[in-house]
Amino acid sequence: MAQVRRFAIGLVLGVGLVVALHLPALAQQANRLDVTIRNYTYVFKGGVLNPDQPVVIVIENVDKVTHGFMSPLLALQEVEVESRGVTTYGKGIKGVHIDPGTTVTIRFTPTKPGRFTFQCDIHPNMKGEVLLLSIGEV
């Protein structure tokens, strides 16, 4: 009986440790926005974006033409852009072009709440908006 109790306690502690080690990863997933470009439209899938927390935007272009993703917000941030195994980083980028069949990952940390507007500079009718929400503690 004591052996079963030790096993159960060890199992609970082990599961607790695994959950604790994965909490940062779960928090980062909450600030991920997946964008698919399809039929000259931005299609969103993702969670809430919060100021002062790292944001990951993954953009996949499934159209047969190159599209852009540009925003005034990106010009104000330290940004990291990854595509085709190459990572570019710095401050003051206007946006990115995404070739057909390509995925681009953009990482940055927004500093204040507000509207995050963006558009395709190649096809100006393609526009989108994400709200950066600052949610107080309850």
46-78 pLDDT tens trace:
767 888 899 999 999 999 999 999 998 888 889
Local structure of 13: helix, strand or coil? helix
Which regions of the chain are under pLDDT 70? 1-30, 47, 135-138
Distance from C-alpha of 70 to C-alpha of 47, rounded to nearest angstrom = 20
Q: Which fold has domain 32-132?
A: Immunoglobulin-like (2.60.40)
Among 120, 122, 132, which Cα is nearest to 42's?
120
How much is the pTM? 0.73
Distance from C-alpha of 130 to C-alpha of 48, rounded to nearest angstrom = 9
Distance from C-alpha of 50 to C-alpha of 48, rounded to nearest angstrom = 6
Distance from C-alpha of 28 to C-alpha of 1, rounded to nearest angstrom = 41
| pLDDT for the residue numbered 36 | 96
